[in-house]
């Protein structure tokens, strides 16, 4: 049984998370998946290619890739070296091409070439973990069972004090505990957009961030920036 202090702290954290979500909605009312796709298969492939690669670069690659490969069978029967060259610009292309071929083969063998909607079936595909499964389920099928945790989401969740973990699975669990399920999909999209625009990896723009009053990292950064000026003696002071 939680103590009253623990219950109040948990309620306070959920309330702060609600305020953060509300603030993000004001900033990014049209937030959505930034990968271009028209089918669940295209989204699956694009998400697999997005590992360690920008969505912008992935969209450049898939523009021609999706014209060349239109079905799971196309990927499954693709020449390995040819597919590698087709996805080379996304980086780590040998592993990505291998996983795409193997996942496509499993789709053909088990699901008639269709992408399944269930988490356990998706994560059984080669190269697919919870992040990719959540992206496909939420954006292609409207099935929301978790929060997409990429590098942006993990970084912002820690800076905002929504988690202390570096483990994506634990970060997802912490976010799911703080936000209602109706916000899970949008929350990931909005955090990703905020991570690109304001809360950047190397130097977050805390002075420009409307979420700074709710963010322990932002508060600490702004206080540190203000400290030297406050410490300077006034002119004429003895």
Domain architecture of the chain: domains with CATH? 40-141 (1.10.340.30)
Q: What is the pLDDT of residue 15?
A: 95
By percentage, how much of the chain surpasses pLDDT 90?
A: 89
Q: What is the pLDDT of residue 233?
A: 54
- Is 203 annotated as catalytic? no
- Is 183 annotated as catalytic? no
Tokens of 94: 């040998």
Model pLDDT for residues 199-234, shown as the tens digit of each residue: 999 999 999 999 999 999 999 999 998 886 555 555
Query: Is the predicted pLDDT of residue 19 greater than 50, yes or no?
Result: yes
Q: Which of the following is catalytic: 55, 150, 174, 183?
A: 150
Contact 15, 39 (CB under 8 A): no
Q: Which of the following is catalytic: 55, 131, 183, 186?
A: 131
Q: What is the pLDDT of residue 16?
A: 96
pTM: 0.89
């Amino acid at each position: 049984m939680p103590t009253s202090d623990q219950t109040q702290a948990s309620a306070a954290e959920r309330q702060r998370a609600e305020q953060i979500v509300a603030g993000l909605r004001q900033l990014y009312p049209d937030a959505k998946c930034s990968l271009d796709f028209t089918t669940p298969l295209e989204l699956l492939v694009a998400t697999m290619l997005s590992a360690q690669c920008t969505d912008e670069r992935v969209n450049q690659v898939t523009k021609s890739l999706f014209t060349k490969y239109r079905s799971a069978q196309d990927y499954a029967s693709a020449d390995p070296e040819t597919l590698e060259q087709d996805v080379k610009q996304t980086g780590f292309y040998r592993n990505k091409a291998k996983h795409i071929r193997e996942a496509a083969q499993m789709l053909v063998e088990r699901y008639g070439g269709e992408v399944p909607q269930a988490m356990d079936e998706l994560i059984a595909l080669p190269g697919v973990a919870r992040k990719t499964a959540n992206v496909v389920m939420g954006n292609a099928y409207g099935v929301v069972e978790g929060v997409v945790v990429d590098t942006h989401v993990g970084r912002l969740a820690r800076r905002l004090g929504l988690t202390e973990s570096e483990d994506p699975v634990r970060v997802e669990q912490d976010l799911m505990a703080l936000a209602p399920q109706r916000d899970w999909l949008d929350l990931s999209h909005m955090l990703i957009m905020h991570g690109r625009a304001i809360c950047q990896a190397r130097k977050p723009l805390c002075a420009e961030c409307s979420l700074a009053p709710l963010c322990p990292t932002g508060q600490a950064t702004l206080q540190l920036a203000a400290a030297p000026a406050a410490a300077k003696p006034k002119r004429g002071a003895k």
